Chain A
C-alpha cells in the first residue's frame, strides 16, 4: 500500500522543467516532460550531487547542471557510459494534481 502525498497542480511545474519539493530527508525534484508525464527523483546527481532540478529536461531525461551527466527520469540511472543511480519515487496525476509516494 503506497502512501501518496499531494504535491500540487501539474501546471505549477513548467513543461520540460522541474520544481523542488523539500522534505526532511532532502530535496526531491519533480519533473514534467513535454508530454506532461511527471517524474520524481532525489535532487542529487550520483556524480557530484548536483541539483538535477536545475538541469535541462528532454524526452525522459535530465542533464545535470554541474557536469552534464544525463539521468533517466524514470529509473534515476545515469545514461550512456556513465554509471550511477539516484533514488526515484513513484508519482501519479489525478484530477490535475501530482501525488508522490515518498
Chain B
C-alpha cells in the first residue's frame, strides 16, 4: 500500500512541490489535494495582466483539472480543511468528512492584510489576491467610475494600472512618501511617481486612511488629516499575512509563519510546509523564485532522498509596473559602513544606485535602465571583489571591456519581429508566445521550447529579460544556485567539492554517490564530470564516451559530418618543407578546402572520418602533432615576428611564443584557451584579447589575462609585469593551472575572472610567490602525461574506431 500524501493549498508552491516529487519518485505516494478555490492551479502572478485585459483566466492556468486526472492525483477543489488531528493523522473538512494522511504538506499561502478600518466590510471594498477579486474589479469597472487603491506597493500599483486600463479614474493612497518602499529608495520612487502621474494615475502620498464610509456600498475614503475622497471601489493592497490558523490550531509551532527548518519540515516530522505560509530562519516570502526553491527541497525530502537543504539567498525584484522598468536587489538603502555609487538623469528617467561594502556589491536599485540588473545580481551572489571595475561598473557591463552586442537594448522596446537569438533565428514574438502558451518559467524551459539562447548563449540576458517582463510582477528567474543539468540539483561548485571531499574517482562512482537522477547522466553533465575528474586525479582514466565528438576523434566535426584537421605549427612559424608536406597530404586525401585560421594555423577541411588515422600517420611522419583546434584545451600561441625582424620589436616574441606553446600544448582546460605574444606595445599578435597575453616592452614583459574575441569581445585585465622570459612562463603555467582547478567546465577565463574577481587571481598568482610556484609545479606535473600526441597514438592503435563496423552492398 502506498503512503498517503495530502497537500492542503492548491497554489503554485504546493503544486510545484508535487511536480518536483513526480520527477523524483512518481510512484511513492497516493496524492490528494485540497484547494479553497474552485479551479485547477493557476499562475497568481499573472492576475495583473488578466485585470489589464492582456490575458484570460484560461491563459494563466498552469495545471487544469485534466492534469490532476492524468497524474492520478485526487483534487478536492472548493473543499476546506478545518481541522488537523495529528495524533490520528486525520483531516476534517467543514462538512465533517474525514481523510487519513501519512504525510501532510501545508501550502496554505497567505492572504491580503485588510486594514482594521471602520467600513472595511462594505460592498465594494476588496483585496487583490484571487480570480474572484479580479472578477469584482472587472464588474465594477463596467458600471462605476472611481477607484481608490490603498497601498503603493507592487501589488497596489499593478491593481491601479489595471483599473485605469479598464477605464476607471484611479487614486493610489500610500502611507509613506516612497512608492514600493520594499524595492525602491526615494529618488527612484520620485521618478516613477512622475511617470505614473503622466500616464493618468493620481497619488495621495503620506496619507493614512482613517475610515471607509458609505450607505449601501462604499462611497468615500476619509483620511486622518481630515481630507476625504469620493470613490466607488476600494482595493486594499497593503501587504500579505501568512495563513497559519489551520497549522496553529493543530498545535504546530508558528510565529509569523509556520516555522520550518532547512528541509521544509515543521515542528511535526510528518508535516511539511512550503510557500508564503512558512517562516524560515526568521524570514517570510512573497516572491516566486524562493518558493520554487523550497518546492525542490521539500520534494527531495518527501522522496526520502534527504540531501537537499533550503538556503535562502538574496532575492532580486525585476519587475514591470505599467511599462516601467525597475530592478532592485539586496541592501539598497545602505548605512554608515557602505558606500553609494549613484547615477541620475531625470530627463531620460534613469536612476541607478549601487551599494558597496568592503569592495563587494551588496545592493542595487535600477530605474529606467535595467539591462545590467542580472549582471549586478550575479556580482552580488558571487561576492565578487569589484574594486578593479568600480570606476565604470555604474555604466554597465559593456563599459568594462565588453563591446559585443550583448544586452545593449532593453527588450521591452523591441518589436515582436526583432531577432533575439541570432544563432537559431528566434524572434521576440516567438519567445513571448512560447512563454505564455506553455507556461514557461525558467531559462532552460525557454531554451528547449524555442531554442533561443540554446547555442552560443550571447542572448541569454535578453531572454531572461523577456521571461521577467512576460511573467511580470514579482517573478524572479534567477535561482539561488544553478544546477549542473537536469540530472542533479547540485551546482558545478558543489560537485567539484564532492569529488575531492569524497574521493570520487570515476563517473559511475560519482553518479551513485551523488544520487544522479539518470544512471548514465546526459550529454551536458558527462563531459563536465570527465573534465573535473581528469583535472583532479592525475591517474584518472579518461572516458572517451563522455567526450564531445571533436575531442573523441581529435578533429572538428563539420555540418556535413566530415572533419577538419589542423596540425600544430609552433608559434605560427613554419617552413617550406612543412608546407610541402601539408600540400602533398592535402593532395593525397583530396582535401577540398585549405584555409588559414585566425590563430596562425592551416585548416584542412572536409576530411572523411575513415581517412583521419591515415592522414594523421602521414602528418606524424612529416613531424606534425595534433593542433588541438578541436578541444577544450590550449589552442594556439599566436606571435608577431618580434625583435628578430621587426624594427620596433623589443623582445624575441616569436621565440618566447614557441617556448610557451611547447610548455602548454596538450593540456585540457575548462574551455578553450588561447595565448599570444606581441613583441611591442603595438600588439600585432592581439595579445589583449587572449586568455593569456604577453606584451613585450623594452624593460620586460607585461602579462594580461581574461580576454577573448568572439561573442562578447573582452579586453584583458593587466595581471602584472615581469622582467624575464622564465618568469613570464612560470606565471603563465600558474595562471593556467589556477584556471583549470577553479573555473567551471565551459567557463572561459573572461567570465571566470568576472566571477571570482581579478584581485583573487592576483593574490594567488602574483602576490603569493610560494603559491605561484606550487601551481606551476602542478601544471608541469600534469603536462608530463598530457604531451603524447593523440594523433600518433590513434593512428597506431585505434583505427577501428574510425572505420565502419560493416559494409553492405
Contacts and interface: CB of A to CB of B under 8 A. Distances in A.
Nearest to A52: B561
Interface stretch (B152-160, B176-184, B595-603, B799-807): B799-807
A8 interface: yes
Contacts of B559: 48, 66
B557 interface: yes
A58 B522 contact: yes
Nearest to B558: A66
Given A20-B805, A48-B559, A66-B559, A59 B545 contact: no
Contact of A67 (B448, B455, B520, B805): B455
A81 interface: yes
B809 A19 contact: no
B808 A21 contact: yes
**Which has the most chain A C-beta neighbours within 10 Å: B449, B454, B559, B808?**
B808
B198 interface: no
Given A13-B805, A22-B808, 16 more contacts: A7-B805, A14-B544, A19-B804, A21-B805, A22-B807, A50-B561, A56-B522, A56-B526, A56-B545, A58-B522, A59-B519, A63-B522, A63-B523, A70-B523, A80-B448, A81-B449
Contacts of B518: 58-59
Nearest to A80: B448
A75 interface: no
A7 B522 contact: no
B545 A57 contact: yes
Contacts of B545: 14-17, 56-57
B548 interface: yes
A20 B804 contact: yes
Nearest to A58: B520
**Which has the most chain B C-beta neighbours within 10 Å: A48, A51, A55?**
A51
Nearest to A33: B520
A20 B808 CA distance: 11
B561 A51 contact: yes
Contacts of A51: 557, 561
Given A54-B549, A56-B523, A66-B559, A30 B805 contact: yes
A2 interface: no
B434 to A, nearest CB: 9
A70 to B, nearest CB: 7
A20 B805 CA distance: 6
Interface string A62-88: 010111101000000000111000000
A76 to B, nearest CB: 18
Contact of B805 (A12, A56, A63, A70): A12
Contacts of A66: 557, 559
B527 interface: yes
Interface string B514-554: 00001111110011000000000000000011101100110
A22 B438 CA distance: 41
B425 to A, nearest CB: 13
Q: How large is the interface on B (under 10, 10 to 19, 20 to 34, 35 or more residues)?
A: 20 to 34
Contacts of A19: 804-805
Interface in A1-43: 5-8, 12-17, 19-24, 27, 30, 33-34
A81 B561 CA distance: 25
B159 to A, nearest CB: 35
A58 B561 contact: no
25 contacts: A7-B805, A14-B801, A16-B546, A17-B544, A19-B805, A22-B804, A23-B808, A33-B520, A34-B519, A34-B520, A48-B559, A49-B561, A50-B561, A54-B553, A54-B561, A56-B523, A56-B526, A56-B549, A58-B520, A59-B519, A59-B520, A65-B549, A66-B557, A66-B559, A70-B523
A58 B805 contact: no
A8 B561 contact: no
A102 interface: yes
A22 B449 CA distance: 34
A15 B518 CA distance: 16
B806 A21 contact: yes
Contacts of A6: 806
B787 to A, nearest CB: 26
B605 to A, nearest CB: 16
A19 B549 CA distance: 13
Contacts of A58: 518, 520-523, 526
Nearest to B423: A67
A99 to B, nearest CB: 11
A12 B553 CA distance: 17
Contacts of A33: 520
Nearest to B527: A56
A15 B621 CA distance: 33
Contacts of A55: 523, 549
Nearest to B450: A81
A58 to B, nearest CB: 4
Contacts of B548: 56, 65
Contacts of B549: 54-56, 65
A29 B804 CA distance: 9
Contacts of B519: 34, 59
A66 B527 CA distance: 16
Contacts of A5: 808
Contacts of B438: 81
Nearest to A45: B561
Contacts of A14: 544-545, 801
A56 B808 contact: no
Contact of B808 (A16, A17, A24, A70): A24
Contacts of A50: 561
A81 B435 CA distance: 13
Interface in B161-197: none
Contacts of A15: 545
A27 B804 CA distance: 9
Contacts of A21: 804-808
**Which has the most chain B C-beta neighbours within 10 Å: A5, A13, A22, A56?**
A56
A20 B807 CA distance: 9
Nearest to B806: A21
Nearest to B546: A56
B561 to A, nearest CB: 4
**Which has the most chain A C-beta neighbours within 10 Å: B546, B549, B552, B560?**
B549
A30 to B, nearest CB: 6
A32 B549 CA distance: 16
Contacts of B546: 16, 56
Contacts of A24: 808-809
A27 B561 CA distance: 11
B257 to A, nearest CB: 37
Interface string B440-463: 000000001100001100000000
**Which has the most chain B C-beta neighbours within 10 Å: A8, A12, A16, A80?**
A16
A8 B520 contact: no
